[in-house]
């Protein structure tokens, strides 16, 4: 389940990157010009909105955190307009001012709520600004929880390696949103958020989700990164870990009007979640939902914690959690209709240990949703003998539901999960490495309709029985 945001926090976030002004001219377009076959727009409204890294900063404060924005701007009207709006929203601005340079401006002309043309006014700074920007960042790191690098590759973040190094030295988590630079230049970042094109540019095109996860894990290992969050447009987000496993966050089911600024919102959400100590997966789920809200609006926009929480409340309860069989069947059918790949595993999970956690993470990496079926107390006792289970069914399911790798948990009372397998028909049946493939109950049935059976790696020195024996011997 997507975690709710606190409406206000003491989290402090520094955003550094390229800022720009998104200018909108709105009007009616009811006729075609006699001079050329183009619409004539009678402009009635002119609106400026902070864009780029400034839009990230606006989203950070809207989500309830404190924010300082570091960037470089020209000494012009566009910069003053942007600064006024940021000040009014509560963003602290620390701008490097560059003489004889105009702040990047993107002009969009809209008629009948449709964008007719976009005009970009931009050029690189006439002088290097990286050292001055780094100095400004360093002034704020002592009081920061998280640093977001929003690099649009327009000259402000010419040396991302120095910024990452300064943050790591200060013990500040780093979220990097790259553009065209080699991702090696963000080495050491805790979260790196490329989009599909940016990821393919450095890692190559992938054939399926498992290949995407493998390539992402190799990239993280090479750049000494923490986690990748690859934005995939309508396919949602892919959270990739260094061990080569991944988890998909499905795109929100919304009517998309304008995708402008959605990536900025994801970066802001990941940064806010990081500052709150959330897992990357929890942050990705919240950020993905926030980005979906942005896509229902015209142009760059900030979404508030209250708006995000209302959207979370509207999510179907069956998206995640502990479900009885009928509700689980319906939830799996919905996920499959959206193109989701369903992975199934089962067990007693009496005393959850590192082996369980590792094996469930591996299982989740095989698809889009992981179902964990848990033996109820009576069936666990029949399988394990007197004195088992140590923990009752409710406790065991609650612990499993708290794992980021697990989507749904469901109980079953039969000695085997064959009835559940028949009802769900998962794409993948997974079991831990202490089983031989010939011993996996239900394997023949799953293969009969084209499903896959996977026996995962064995985690040494991880056994519930041995843990119980050690406790008894003490």
Encode pLDDT of 224-283 as tens digits: 999 999 999 888 899 999 888 888 888 776 555 556 678 899 999 999 999 999 989 889
Given a cut of 90, whether residue 210 has pLDDT beyond it is: no
Task: Report the SS3 class of residue 192.
Answer: strand
Task: Report the SS3 class of residue 388.
Answer: coil
Strand order in the sheet with 105-111: 39-52, 19-32, 105-111, 114-121
The residues, ordered by sequence, that sit 6+ positions from 404 with a Cβ below 8 Å of its Cβ are 247, 279, 281, 282
Query: How confident is residue 468, by pLDDT bands cut at 50, 70 and 90?
Result: very low
Bridge partner residues of 114 (DSSP) = 111
pTM above 0.75, yes or no: no
Place of tokens 């989740």: 364
Q: What angle is formed at CA 39 by the lines to CA 35 and CA 42, rounded to 5 degrees?
A: 105
Query: How confident is residue 142, by pLDDT bands cut at 50, 70 and 90?
Result: very high
The predicted-structure confidence for 43-52, as pLDDT tens digits, reads as follows: 999 989 999 9
Fill in the DSSP letter of residue 195.
Answer: B
The predicted-structure confidence for 387-433, as pLDDT tens digits, reads as follows: 778 888 888 888 898 888 999 999 999 989 999 999 999 999 999 87
One of 264, 350, 377, 407 is an active-site residue; which one?
A: 264
Virtual CA dihedral for 227, 232, 235, 238, nearest 10 degrees? -10
Cis peptide before 343 (omega within 30 of 0): no
Fill in the DSSP letter of residue 462.
Answer: -
Helix axes 280-294, 262-275, angle to 10 degrees: 150
Given a cut of 80, whether residue 335 has pLDDT beyond it is: yes
HSE-up (13 A, CA, CB side) for residue 427: 17
CB atoms closer than 10 angstroms to residue 444: 10
Active site residue 264: yes
Whole-angstrom Cα distance, residue 79 to residue 121? 13
The residues, ordered by sequence, that sit 6+ positions from 379 with a Cβ below 8 Å of its Cβ are 412, 413, 414, 415
H/E stretch holding 223 reads helix 209-223
């Amino acid at each position: 389940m997507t975690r709710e945001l606190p409406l206000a926090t003491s989290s402090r976030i520094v955003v550094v990157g390229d800022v720009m002004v998104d200018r909108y001219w709105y009007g009616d377009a009811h006729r075609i010009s006699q001079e050329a076959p183009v619409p004539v727009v009678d402009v009635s409204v002119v609106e400026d909105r902070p864009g780029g890294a400034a839009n990230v900063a606006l989203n950070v404060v809207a989500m309830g955190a404190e924010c300082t924005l570091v960037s470089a701007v020209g000494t012009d009207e566009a910069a003053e307009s942007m600064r006024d709006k940021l000040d009014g929203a509560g963003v602290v601005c620390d701008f490097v001012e560059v003489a004889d340079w105009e702040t990047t401006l993107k002009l969009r002309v809209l008629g009948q709520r449709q964008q007719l043309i976009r005009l970009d006014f931009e050029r690189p700074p006439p002088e290097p600004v990286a050292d001055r920007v780094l100095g400004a960042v360093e002034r704020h790191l002592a009081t920061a929880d998280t640093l977001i690098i929003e690099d649009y590759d327009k000259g402000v973040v010419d040396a991302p390696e120095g910024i990452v190094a300064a943050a790591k030295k200060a013990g500040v988590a780093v979220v990097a949103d790259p553009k065209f630079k080699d991702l090696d230049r963000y080495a050491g970042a805790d979260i790196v958020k490329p989009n599909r094109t940016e990821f393919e540019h450095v890692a190559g095109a992938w054939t399926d989700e498992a290949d995407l996860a493998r390539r992402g894990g190799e990239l993280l290992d090479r750049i000494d990164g923490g986690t990748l969050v690859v934005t995939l447009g309508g396919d949602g987000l892919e959270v990739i870990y260094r061990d080569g496993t991944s988890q998909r966050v499905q795109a929100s089911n919304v009517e998309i009007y304008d995708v402008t600024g959605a990536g900025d919102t994801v970066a802001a959400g990941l940064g806010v979640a990081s500052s709150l100590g959330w897992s990357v997966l929890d942050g990705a789920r919240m950020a993905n939902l926030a980005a979906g809200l942005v896509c229902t609006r015209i142009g760059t926009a900030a979404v508030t914690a209250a708006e995000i929480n209302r959207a979370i409340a509207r999510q179907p309860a069956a998206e995640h959690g502990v479900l009885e069989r009928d509700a689980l069947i319906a939830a799996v059918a919905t996920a499959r209709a959206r193109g989701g790949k369903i992975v199934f595993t089962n067990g007693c999970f009496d005393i959850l240990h590192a082996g369980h956690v590792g094996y469930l993470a591996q299982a989740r990496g095989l698809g889009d949703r992981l179902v964990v079926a848990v033996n109820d107390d009576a069936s666990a006792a029949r399988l394990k003998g007197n004195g088992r289970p140590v923990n009752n069914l409710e406790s065991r399911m609650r612990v499993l539901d708290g794992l980021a790798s697990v989507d749904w948990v469901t109980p079953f009372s039969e000695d085997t999960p064959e009835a559940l397998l028949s009802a769900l028909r998962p794409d993948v049946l997974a079991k831990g490495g202490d089983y031989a493939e010939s011993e996996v109950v239900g394997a023949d049935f799953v293969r009969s309709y084209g499903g896959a059976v996977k026996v995962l790696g064995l985690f040494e020195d991880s056994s519930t029985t041995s843990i119980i024996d050690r406790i008894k011997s003490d």
